[in-house]
Each structure stands twice: as C-alpha cells, then as structure tokens.
Amino acid sequence: MEKVWIIMGSKSDWATMKNAAAVLTELQVPYAVHIISAHRTPDRLATMAEQAEANNVQVVIAGAGGAAHLPGMFAANTVIPVVGVPVESHSLHGMDSLLSIVQMPAGVSVATMAIGVPGAKNAGHLTAQILGLQDPEQQQRVRDYRRKVAERVVESEAELDD
C-alpha cells in the first residue's frame, strides 16, 4: 500500500508535481497520484482525506496553483502531515500560490515548500525524511542519496581544472 499520496488540483499541475514523484521513485517510496480540486470537488476532497487515513497514508504532498487551497483544505480534513507545493501560476508567478499555502491558521499546519519544481523536489525529499523516522532502511536511502549529491559537488570542483 502507498505510504504517500501526491495530490493536485488539476492535470496541468503534474508538470511540477512529477518532480516530487521522481524523487520518491528514486528513494523507493511507494506513492499514488490523485487529482482533487478544493473548489470543484470539495466532497471528493473530504472523502479522500478519510480514505487516506483509513489506508494508513503517512504523508500527503499537495500541489496547487492560483488560490491554492488544496493543501490547506486537505490538512483541515486529516491529521496526516501535508507538504504543500506552490505551483507557479502565470499571473503572479506562484507568489499567490505560496501565500495561499503558507498562511495557514494556527492548528491547521501545512509544511510549505518553495515555488515550482525545486519545491516539488524538496517535498519528495522531506517526505522521505519523515518516513525515515520510522523506517531505518528509508533513512539509509536518504543518507545514501545525500552522499551521492555531495560526491557530485566535489567531482565538479575537479572538472574546473580541465
């Protein structure tokens, strides 16, 4: 069963959210992807939040653009940790999304990442770290990934001499 759900308000958000999926795949975290609109399918949102708890989902990565209510509304309907990803919008370049997600009232928390692709990638990394708290093998995969990244940085320095 998937420990993680990636949810988004519309199919167009996948261009950003697929980056979270790629990180989860690399770190061997099982996930499922769902499209849930906070505004157009509010009943589905509430039902899916209940299903997530019933299915023992441990983290939800929620991407949304524009008004970006999906992460907060999902968080309001569950006690599962929600990691919000502001999807870059055309009109305000994602600032509207960021402010919508980050401005949650006290008691209904959403861990908010950066706007766009970097935020989606970090949502995947943070999710793997959260899961690693209860899974030593997952924690080791995160350590191994970080070691590979560090090695690439050192190797890139050597390339400067060429």
Binding-site positions for substrate read 10, 13, 40
CB 95 within 8 A of CB 83: no
Please report, to the nearest 10 degrees, the dihedral formed by the alpha carbons of residues 123, 128, 129, 130 taken in order: 90
**Most distant pair of Cα atoms in the chain: their distance:** 59
Binding residues: 10, 13, 40
Residues with Cβ within 8 Å of residue 64, at least 6 apart in sequence: 8, 9, 13, 38, 70, 71, 84, 85, 86, 87, 97, 100, 101
CB 131 within 8 A of CB 141: no
